[in-house]
A and B are shown apart, each in its own frame.
Chain A
Amino acid sequence: MATSMTIWEKLGFRKASGVSEAGWGQTLFVAIISFIYFLPVLLIIITSFKLQNEALAVPPKVFPTSLFGLIPDDYVFSPTLENYAAVFSRAMTAGAAAQDTGFDRYFFNSILIASVSVFLALVIGTLAAFGFSRYPLKGNDTYLFVILTTRMLPAIVVIIPIILMFRVAGLSGSYLGIILLYTAFNLPFTIWMMKSFFDELALDVEDAARIDGSSDVRVFFKIALPQVVAGLAATFVFGLILTWNEFLFALLLTGADTRTVPVAMNQAVAGGGIGVLWGLLAAIETLFLIPVFLVTFFLQNHLLRGVTFGTVKR
């Protein structure tokens, strides 16, 4: 079946009738809702193709083309790629020569820091969640609660001790420091989330495997872990999104070499003293959105595959 998939089938038009389960009416309804939901993001993307005077025009110019004269000229702007070029290289003061903004470096930093720390948190957190779920310690709930507590305080409270600690340890401005910090930052959610997935699994299968002589390590890797792939994917996506956009820790604990995009974005936009450069900010945000968007898109099937693949439930 998979060999002869047409483009229509790939888009979800599987059955001869064209729709399965939900009717056309509901499909259309969901499409409209989704579009409205996406509209503010779409407007950001549109803004990234505008020059500053077009971005501030009244009435708002929101259409990149006039659709053969269908839309009045007042609402139409002429799209330009200037903002995207300006992300990586632009003149810092009026009249000066264009110089490198270093954003390529910041994008690299963001990708490196976010992916490594989320991956680390996933490995450590999944192990811990399995421990909490299957081998309860004395005072298990207390441990879990203390772990949750670390997410309850605003970041600003722990930031001063962390700054002092990092300075003493020589970690401030290094990749290691911020990666470790983000790993800790992601752990509570990872542990709670993965524990709730492990708790859902039927124990019968694992017990059966143990009776057949599988070691505990084997039970974890061969039986428990494959059943929570959806949970792993969801946790990875959430962790990635939170870490990707984290601002305060990154602002205070990264140096010039390890700066991440949110911090650089803030500086690039707020630094000029001439108000926000909307087109530039939109271009940075659009570029910054693409990696997370792609990761989420490709993990989406895992997200929705269902938690249990036909194993014994209850």
Chain B
Amino acid sequence: MTSSGVQTSPPVFTSLAPDGRSLAPDNWKLAIVVGLCVSVIACIGLPATVSFWIVATMVAMVAGSFVVNAYRRHYYGGLLVSPAIAVLFVMNIFPLLWSLGLSFFAYQSNQQTIRFVGLANYIKVLTSELAGGDVWHALNNTALFVVLTVVVQMTTGFLLAMLFAKQFPLRRYLLILVLTPMMLSVVAAGVFFSYYYDPTFGLLSYFMRGFSGNQFILMDSKLGAVAGIVFVDAWMWSPFVMLLVLAGLVSVPKYLYEAAAIDRVSSWRRFWTITFPYIRGLLMLALLFRTIEAFKMADLVYILTRGGNDTLTISYHLIRIANEQNKTSEGAAISYVMLFIVIVLTNLYLYIANRRSRGN
């Protein structure tokens, strides 16, 4: 038992004041108390620009004491996770809580006044008293886009991965061609597809005119507009699914296939019993992240239709309200309604995924 290696016992904070050494660097409780006192004094007594950095130093001090404490107790879980949590807390979680707070106030980013209104913003949003659009309708549209884009992306990505799973000449060069759409910036891809879709000088319209003789305007109907948007999004992000699935496919050991060949297993059964277990986790990950991203789709809608033809998504609606109409707190309320829906869906999904993996 010379090294720490053999057994790292699960961490337990046994005593309240660690070892009774009050000024030890791992005394995180003292650090919290001191940090809080100094921060409060700094916030009251000093201008914001100075006190911000004092508070930041105090947060760093508390974090440091946690780290030292974790290290001394071989509490590696906390030690490894803490930097990530710290960055996320400052840059994401804290602003999220701030905007959660804003959603209970009447606040507009172009005005100075702020007033507590309780749940009024949520009521306003859910009963669609808000000018310029119906939240429920936008949610319906979003659901349509989420289902369509995710289904198309998952199938296309999966089929592409199956195509590229084998060895053949020029494979890496063909693969990079398929991966390129993902590397375009969404703005450029959207603008160029609006160029291809353009009724007068667009390529698509030119070809369609060759067939029918009439001028072809894709964005003329809801069906066309939705198809146009879904096509671009699926085109851009199928490679993402493909790459994840492909990483799983190439990790399947060859000898499993050889054994299956000896046993004359049908290809259908071979896929479900050998291949699928290796790609299931990555497929789930791809599905999870693509669904979350699809919920947030706004930029393509903005570039291609500006929400016309009944293609307004909740995320674009939110941008309109929060940015163009400066209704910050209503925007925050909408986004928390949205977050609630996504959290419920994600939990449901993770629950099903976990139950499946335990079942196997």
Contact = CB atoms under 8 A, between A and B. Distances in A.
Contacts of A305: 250
Nearest to A177: B91
Interface centre among B87, B164, B178, B318 (most CB of A within 10 A): B87
Interface stretch (B34-42, B145-153, B196-204): B196-204
Interface in A221-246: 230-231, 234, 237-238, 241, 244-245
Mostly, the B contact residues are: helix
Interface stretch (B14-22, B46-54, B119-127): B46-54
Nearest to B48: A168
B80 A130 contact: yes
Interface string A143-161: 1011111111111111011
Contact of B95 (A55, A165, A170): A165
A48 to B, nearest CB: 11
A297 B109 CA distance: 44
Contact of A241 (B49, B78, B183): B183
Contacts of A199: 281
Contacts of A128: 80-81, 83-85
A291 B335 CA distance: 35
Contact of A131 (B80, B171, B250, B298): B80
A284 B187 CA distance: 12
B185 A265 contact: yes
A172 B192 CA distance: 31
Contact of B169 (A11, A219, A238, A265): A11
A282 B84 contact: no
B276 interface: no
B274 interface: no
A20 B167 contact: yes
B262 interface: no
Interface stretch (A78-86, A88-96, A99-107, A208-216): A208-216
A35 interface: yes
A20 B169 CA distance: 8
A297 B176 contact: yes
A302 to B, nearest CB: 10
Contacts of A269: 191
B346 A148 contact: yes
Contacts of A237: 243
B227 interface: no
A296 interface: yes
B335 A157 contact: yes
A3 B76 CA distance: 46
B3 A215 contact: yes
B87 A184 contact: yes
Given A20-B167, A152-B346, A210-B5, A157 B332 contact: yes
A126 to B, nearest CB: 9
A281 interface: yes
Contacts of B88: 147, 150, 184, 187-188
B184 interface: yes
Contact of A41 (B163, B181, B299, B315): B181
Interface in B225-255: 235, 240, 243-244, 246-248, 250-251, 253
Interface string B76-107: 11111101110110111111101100100000
Q: Residue among B84, B186, B201 with the most chain A CB within 10 A?
A: B84
A77 interface: no
A112 interface: no
A285 B170 contact: no
B69 interface: no
B259 interface: no
Contact of B201 (A11, A31, A56, A215): A56
A160 B109 contact: yes
Interface string B50-67: 001100100000000000
Nearest to B7: A210
B292 A152 contact: yes
Contacts of A278: 195
B80 A296 contact: no
A140 B91 CA distance: 21
A21 B52 CA distance: 62
Contacts of A20: 167-168
A152 B292 CA distance: 6
A37 B248 CA distance: 22
Given A199-B281, A281-B188, A60 B201 contact: yes
A116 interface: no
B142 to A, nearest CB: 11
Nearest to B253: A313
Contacts of A27: 168-170
A151 to B, nearest CB: 6
A192 B346 CA distance: 14
B216 interface: no
A182 B81 CA distance: 18
Contacts of B96: 149-150, 153, 157-158, 161
A18 B54 CA distance: 68
A120 B276 CA distance: 33
Interface stretch (B24-32, B131-139, B263-271, B336-344): B336-344
Interface of A: 11-14, 18-22, 26-27, 29-31, 33-35, 37-38, 40-41, 43-44, 47, 55-60, 62, 124-125, 127-128, 130-132, 134-137, 140, 143, 145-158, 160-162, 165, 168-170, 180-181, 183-185, 187-189, 191-193, 196, 199-200, 210-211, 213-216, 219, 230-231, 234, 237-238, 241, 244-245, 247, 262, 265-266, 269, 276, 278, 281-282, 284-285, 288-289, 292-293, 296-297, 300-301, 303-308, 313
7 contacts: A38-B181, A153-B335, A196-B281, A213-B2, A265-B188, A297-B176, A307-B247
Given A148-B288, A169-B52, A300-B175, 18 more contacts: A12-B169, A30-B168, A33-B178, A40-B181, A60-B203, A140-B77, A148-B292, A150-B92, A152-B295, A153-B339, A156-B298, A158-B96, A168-B52, A180-B87, A192-B288, A289-B183, A303-B247, A304-B246
